[in-house]
Amino acid sequence: MRIHTTQGIAPIIAIIIALLALGGGAYGIKKVADGKKEKKAKEEQMAKEENDKKAEEKVENEIPSTLQIKLNELKGSGQSGQAVITQTGTSTLKVIVTLTGKPSGVAQPAHIHLGSCPTPGAVKYPLTSVDKGASQTEIQNLTMAELLAGVPLALNVHKSGADIKTYVACGNIVLEKETPENEGEAKNSMKDEDKRDDMKTSQKDGTMTGTGVQVVYTSNGFTPQTVTIKKGDTVTFENKTGRSASVASNNHPTHLLYPEFDQYKTDQRGKDEFKFTFTKVGSWGYHDHLNAGMGGTVIVTE
Protein backbone atom coordinates (compact mmCIF):
# COMPACT_ATOMS: atom_id res chain seq x y z
CA MET A 1 0.00 0.00 0.00
CA ARG A 2 1.35 3.48 -0.97
CA ILE A 3 1.39 6.22 1.68
CA HIS A 4 0.87 9.80 0.44
CA THR A 5 3.56 11.51 2.53
CA THR A 6 3.29 14.78 0.62
CA GLN A 7 -0.05 15.63 2.11
CA GLY A 8 1.21 14.73 5.59
CA ILE A 9 4.37 16.83 5.36
CA ALA A 10 2.84 19.93 3.80
CA PRO A 11 0.86 21.01 6.86
CA ILE A 12 3.92 20.57 9.02
CA ILE A 13 6.03 22.71 6.71
CA ALA A 14 3.34 25.36 6.69
CA ILE A 15 3.25 25.40 10.47
CA ILE A 16 7.05 25.68 10.65
CA ILE A 17 7.05 28.57 8.16
CA ALA A 18 4.31 30.31 10.13
CA LEU A 19 6.23 29.90 13.37
CA LEU A 20 9.42 31.23 11.80
CA ALA A 21 7.55 34.19 10.40
CA LEU A 22 5.96 34.81 13.76
CA GLY A 23 9.31 34.59 15.56
CA GLY A 24 10.98 36.84 13.06
CA GLY A 25 8.26 39.41 13.43
CA ALA A 26 8.49 39.32 17.21
CA TYR A 27 12.26 39.70 17.00
CA GLY A 28 11.85 42.65 14.68
CA ILE A 29 9.31 44.27 16.98
CA LYS A 30 11.62 43.74 19.96
CA LYS A 31 14.57 45.21 18.07
CA VAL A 32 12.59 48.32 17.18
CA ALA A 33 11.42 48.70 20.79
CA ASP A 34 14.97 48.29 22.10
CA GLY A 35 16.16 50.90 19.61
CA LYS A 36 13.56 53.37 20.82
CA LYS A 37 14.51 52.76 24.44
CA GLU A 38 18.20 53.24 23.67
CA LYS A 39 17.48 56.45 21.76
CA LYS A 40 15.34 57.78 24.60
CA ALA A 41 18.05 56.90 27.16
CA LYS A 42 20.67 58.72 25.08
CA GLU A 43 18.44 61.81 24.77
CA GLU A 44 17.79 61.82 28.52
CA GLN A 45 21.53 61.48 29.23
CA MET A 46 22.35 64.34 26.83
CA ALA A 47 19.68 66.53 28.45
CA LYS A 48 21.07 65.72 31.92
CA GLU A 49 24.63 66.56 30.84
CA GLU A 50 23.42 69.85 29.33
CA ASN A 51 21.55 70.78 32.52
CA ASP A 52 24.58 69.86 34.64
CA LYS A 53 26.79 72.01 32.43
CA LYS A 54 24.42 74.98 32.73
CA ALA A 55 24.27 74.51 36.52
CA GLU A 56 28.09 74.45 36.73
CA GLU A 57 28.35 77.58 34.57
CA LYS A 58 25.78 79.33 36.77
CA VAL A 59 27.74 78.47 39.92
CA GLU A 60 31.01 79.61 38.32
CA ASN A 61 29.42 82.91 37.31
CA GLU A 62 28.23 83.48 40.88
CA ILE A 63 31.70 82.93 42.36
CA PRO A 64 33.59 86.25 42.64
CA SER A 65 37.31 86.54 42.00
CA THR A 66 37.73 88.73 45.11
CA LEU A 67 36.13 88.68 48.55
CA GLN A 68 36.41 91.40 51.20
CA ILE A 69 36.03 90.26 54.79
CA LYS A 70 35.43 92.75 57.57
CA LEU A 71 37.44 91.81 60.68
CA ASN A 72 35.57 92.88 63.80
CA GLU A 73 37.22 93.68 67.10
CA LEU A 74 36.93 90.97 69.77
CA LYS A 75 37.14 91.23 73.55
CA GLY A 76 38.05 94.92 73.57
CA SER A 77 41.32 94.25 71.75
CA GLY A 78 41.28 97.65 70.07
CA GLN A 79 42.14 95.95 66.76
CA SER A 80 39.94 95.59 63.70
CA GLY A 81 40.43 95.66 59.96
CA GLN A 82 39.77 93.68 56.84
CA ALA A 83 40.97 90.77 54.74
CA VAL A 84 40.97 90.64 50.95
CA ILE A 85 40.92 87.19 49.35
CA THR A 86 41.73 87.11 45.64
CA GLN A 87 42.06 84.22 43.23
CA THR A 88 45.20 84.55 41.14
CA GLY A 89 45.65 82.17 38.25
CA THR A 90 43.65 78.95 38.20
CA SER A 91 44.40 77.50 41.62
CA THR A 92 45.96 80.03 44.00
CA LEU A 93 44.31 82.28 46.57
CA LYS A 94 46.07 85.39 47.83
CA VAL A 95 44.99 86.54 51.30
CA ILE A 96 45.90 90.06 52.46
CA VAL A 97 45.09 90.90 56.08
CA THR A 98 45.21 94.44 57.46
CA LEU A 99 44.66 95.44 61.08
CA THR A 100 44.31 98.95 62.44
CA GLY A 101 44.06 100.23 65.97
CA LYS A 102 46.03 99.36 69.04
CA PRO A 103 49.20 97.53 67.89
CA SER A 104 50.22 94.34 69.65
CA GLY A 105 53.96 94.90 69.28
CA VAL A 106 54.49 91.27 68.24
CA ALA A 107 53.64 89.06 65.28
CA GLN A 108 50.06 87.82 65.52
CA PRO A 109 49.13 84.37 64.14
CA ALA A 110 46.24 84.32 61.67
CA HIS A 111 44.26 81.45 60.22
CA ILE A 112 41.15 80.53 58.30
CA HIS A 113 39.13 78.40 60.72
CA LEU A 114 36.17 76.08 60.38
CA GLY A 115 32.98 77.54 61.87
CA SER A 116 31.94 81.11 62.52
CA CYS A 117 32.92 84.11 64.65
CA PRO A 118 33.31 84.80 67.51
CA THR A 119 34.27 81.20 68.43
CA PRO A 120 35.50 79.42 65.30
CA GLY A 121 36.66 75.80 65.34
CA ALA A 122 39.77 74.04 64.07
CA VAL A 123 42.31 75.65 61.73
CA LYS A 124 41.57 74.95 58.06
CA TYR A 125 44.23 77.08 56.35
CA PRO A 126 47.18 78.70 58.19
CA LEU A 127 48.10 82.25 57.15
CA THR A 128 51.21 84.37 57.52
CA SER A 129 51.24 86.09 60.91
CA VAL A 130 50.14 89.72 60.98
CA ASP A 131 53.20 91.86 61.66
CA LYS A 132 53.05 95.63 62.01
CA GLY A 133 49.43 95.60 60.97
CA ALA A 134 49.56 93.52 57.80
CA SER A 135 50.24 90.10 56.31
CA GLN A 136 50.08 88.44 52.92
CA THR A 137 49.67 84.72 52.17
CA GLU A 138 49.37 82.62 49.03
CA ILE A 139 47.41 79.38 49.42
CA GLN A 140 48.34 77.00 46.62
CA ASN A 141 46.03 74.43 44.96
CA LEU A 142 42.86 76.18 46.17
CA THR A 143 40.22 78.05 44.17
CA MET A 144 37.62 80.53 45.38
CA ALA A 145 34.87 78.02 44.55
CA GLU A 146 36.57 75.34 46.66
CA LEU A 147 37.04 77.77 49.53
CA LEU A 148 33.39 78.82 49.52
CA ALA A 149 32.25 75.21 49.22
CA GLY A 150 33.68 74.69 52.72
CA VAL A 151 31.73 77.45 54.51
CA PRO A 152 31.03 78.23 57.30
CA LEU A 153 34.57 79.55 57.61
CA ALA A 154 36.05 82.44 59.59
CA LEU A 155 39.29 84.38 59.34
CA ASN A 156 40.70 84.92 62.80
CA VAL A 157 43.68 86.83 64.21
CA HIS A 158 45.22 85.85 67.56
CA LYS A 159 46.85 88.11 70.11
CA SER A 160 50.27 86.44 69.89
CA GLY A 161 51.99 83.09 69.54
CA ALA A 162 52.34 82.93 73.31
CA ASP A 163 48.67 83.84 73.84
CA ILE A 164 47.15 81.89 70.96
CA LYS A 165 43.85 81.35 72.79
CA THR A 166 43.03 85.07 72.80
CA TYR A 167 41.30 86.25 69.63
CA VAL A 168 41.63 89.94 68.74
CA ALA A 169 39.70 90.16 65.45
CA CYS A 170 37.49 87.86 63.43
CA GLY A 171 35.40 87.92 60.25
CA ASN A 172 33.11 85.37 58.62
CA ILE A 173 33.88 84.29 55.06
CA VAL A 174 30.59 84.46 53.18
CA LEU A 175 29.39 84.96 49.64
CA GLU A 176 27.01 87.92 49.68
CA LYS A 177 24.19 87.37 47.20
CA GLU A 178 22.36 90.30 45.71
CA THR A 179 18.85 90.81 47.04
CA PRO A 180 16.16 93.16 45.65
CA GLU A 181 17.01 95.56 48.48
CA ASN A 182 20.73 95.82 47.86
CA GLU A 183 20.12 95.58 44.12
CA GLY A 184 18.24 98.88 44.41
CA GLU A 185 21.07 100.30 46.49
CA ALA A 186 23.52 99.24 43.81
CA LYS A 187 21.51 101.04 41.11
CA ASN A 188 21.40 104.21 43.20
CA SER A 189 25.11 103.89 43.82
CA MET A 190 25.74 103.66 40.09
CA LYS A 191 23.78 106.89 39.56
CA ASP A 192 25.92 108.59 42.17
CA GLU A 193 29.06 107.27 40.50
CA ASP A 194 28.05 108.84 37.19
CA LYS A 195 28.10 112.21 38.92
CA ARG A 196 31.67 111.79 40.10
CA ASP A 197 33.51 112.39 36.84
CA ASP A 198 34.09 108.70 36.17
CA MET A 199 35.12 108.08 39.77
CA LYS A 200 34.21 104.38 40.03
CA THR A 201 34.27 103.83 43.75
CA SER A 202 32.12 102.26 46.44
CA GLN A 203 32.29 102.84 50.15
CA LYS A 204 31.16 100.48 52.92
CA ASP A 205 32.29 100.00 56.50
CA GLY A 206 34.99 102.67 56.10
CA THR A 207 36.56 100.86 53.14
CA MET A 208 36.68 102.27 49.63
CA THR A 209 37.39 100.13 46.60
CA GLY A 210 37.70 100.69 42.88
CA THR A 211 39.62 102.88 40.47
CA GLY A 212 40.19 106.62 40.64
CA VAL A 213 40.07 106.47 44.44
CA GLN A 214 40.39 109.71 46.42
CA VAL A 215 41.50 109.85 50.06
CA VAL A 216 40.83 113.08 51.95
CA TYR A 217 43.14 114.06 54.81
CA THR A 218 41.60 116.28 57.50
CA SER A 219 42.35 117.00 61.13
CA ASN A 220 40.46 113.79 61.95
CA GLY A 221 42.74 111.66 59.78
CA PHE A 222 42.60 109.98 56.39
CA THR A 223 39.14 109.10 55.01
CA PRO A 224 38.54 106.36 54.06
CA GLN A 225 41.27 104.84 56.17
CA THR A 226 41.52 101.69 54.03
CA VAL A 227 41.23 101.53 50.24
CA THR A 228 41.42 98.48 47.98
CA ILE A 229 42.53 98.93 44.38
CA LYS A 230 43.90 96.96 41.45
CA LYS A 231 47.55 96.94 40.48
CA GLY A 232 48.18 99.94 38.22
CA ASP A 233 45.43 102.08 39.77
CA THR A 234 46.05 105.59 41.09
CA VAL A 235 45.08 106.99 44.48
CA THR A 236 44.78 110.74 45.04
CA PHE A 237 45.55 112.03 48.54
CA GLU A 238 44.04 115.47 49.18
CA ASN A 239 45.32 117.48 52.12
CA LYS A 240 42.56 119.55 53.76
CA THR A 241 44.16 119.92 57.17
CA GLY A 242 45.15 123.53 56.58
CA ARG A 243 48.79 122.73 57.29
CA SER A 244 51.70 121.07 55.54
CA ALA A 245 51.68 117.30 55.11
CA SER A 246 53.74 114.66 53.33
CA VAL A 247 52.30 111.21 52.62
CA ALA A 248 54.73 108.30 52.77
CA SER A 249 54.74 104.54 53.29
CA ASN A 250 55.45 103.00 56.67
CA ASN A 251 57.55 102.71 58.74
CA HIS A 252 58.23 106.17 60.12
CA PRO A 253 60.67 107.78 59.52
CA THR A 254 62.46 105.52 56.99
CA HIS A 255 59.47 104.79 54.69
CA LEU A 256 61.05 101.53 53.50
CA LEU A 257 57.84 99.48 53.27
CA TYR A 258 57.28 100.94 49.79
CA PRO A 259 60.18 103.41 49.19
CA GLU A 260 58.72 104.88 45.99
CA PHE A 261 55.49 105.71 47.80
CA ASP A 262 56.86 108.90 49.36
CA GLN A 263 55.50 112.31 48.41
CA TYR A 264 58.69 114.08 49.48
CA LYS A 265 60.67 112.19 46.81
CA THR A 266 58.38 113.31 43.98
CA ASP A 267 57.71 116.52 42.08
CA GLN A 268 54.51 116.80 44.19
CA ARG A 269 56.49 117.62 47.33
CA GLY A 270 54.83 120.37 49.37
CA LYS A 271 51.57 120.24 47.38
CA ASP A 272 48.11 119.68 48.87
CA GLU A 273 47.39 116.94 46.36
CA PHE A 274 49.51 113.82 45.92
CA LYS A 275 48.76 111.25 43.22
CA PHE A 276 50.48 107.88 43.30
CA THR A 277 50.09 104.88 41.00
CA PHE A 278 50.56 101.57 42.80
CA THR A 279 52.44 98.94 40.79
CA LYS A 280 53.15 96.49 43.60
CA VAL A 281 50.61 94.00 44.96
CA GLY A 282 50.35 93.99 48.74
CA SER A 283 49.05 95.80 51.79
CA TRP A 284 50.77 99.18 52.11
CA GLY A 285 50.46 101.12 55.33
CA TYR A 286 51.21 104.83 55.14
CA HIS A 287 51.25 107.97 57.32
CA ASP A 288 51.79 111.71 57.28
CA HIS A 289 55.53 112.13 57.78
CA LEU A 290 54.90 115.44 59.54
CA ASN A 291 52.28 113.90 61.83
CA ALA A 292 53.11 110.19 62.04
CA GLY A 293 50.11 109.39 64.23
CA MET A 294 47.82 109.85 61.22
CA GLY A 295 47.81 107.06 58.65
CA GLY A 296 45.92 104.51 56.62
CA THR A 297 46.30 101.49 54.34
CA VAL A 298 46.20 100.88 50.59
CA ILE A 299 45.56 97.25 49.60
CA VAL A 300 46.63 96.44 46.05
CA THR A 301 45.35 93.28 44.35
CA GLU A 302 46.13 91.71 40.96
pLDDT by residue (tens digit) across 121-175? 999 999 999 987 888 899 999 999 999 999 999 999 999 999 999 999 999 998 7
* Helix spans in the chain (H): 5-62, 144-149, 180-194
More confident residue, 29 or 15: 15
- Per-residue confidence (pLDDT) for residue 35, from 0 to 100: 73
CB atoms within 10 A of CB 18: 10
Q: Classify strands 207-211 and 226-230 as parallel, antiparallel or unpaired.
A: parallel
User: Residue 275 and residue 38: Cα distance in Å, rounded?
Assistant: 68
User: Residue 230 and residue 213: Cα distance in Å, rounded?
Assistant: 11
Q: Name residue 46's amino acid.
A: M
Contact between 93 and 127 under an 8 Å Cβ cutoff? The reply is: no
Q: Classify strands 66-73 and 79-88 as parallel, antiparallel or unpaired.
A: antiparallel
- Per-residue confidence (pLDDT) for residue 187, from 0 to 100: 43
- Give the dihedral sign, CA 112/114/116/121: negative
Mapped onto helix, strand or coil, the DSSP state of residue 164 is coil
Containing 128, the helix (H) or strand (E) segment is strand 123-130
Residues 211-223: pLDDT tens digits? Answer: 578 999 999 999 9
pLDDT band at 181 (very low <50, low <70, confident <90, very high): very low
Across the chain, what does the average pLDDT equal?
80
More confident residue, 71 or 7: 71
Mapped onto helix, strand or coil, the DSSP state of residue 298 is strand
pLDDT at 182 over 60: no
- Per-residue confidence (pLDDT) for residue 99, from 0 to 100: 83
pLDDT band at 32 (very low <50, low <70, confident <90, very high): low
User: Residue 133 and residue 288: Cα distance in Å, rounded?
Assistant: 17
- Out of 196-200, 226-230, 259-263, least confident range: 196-200
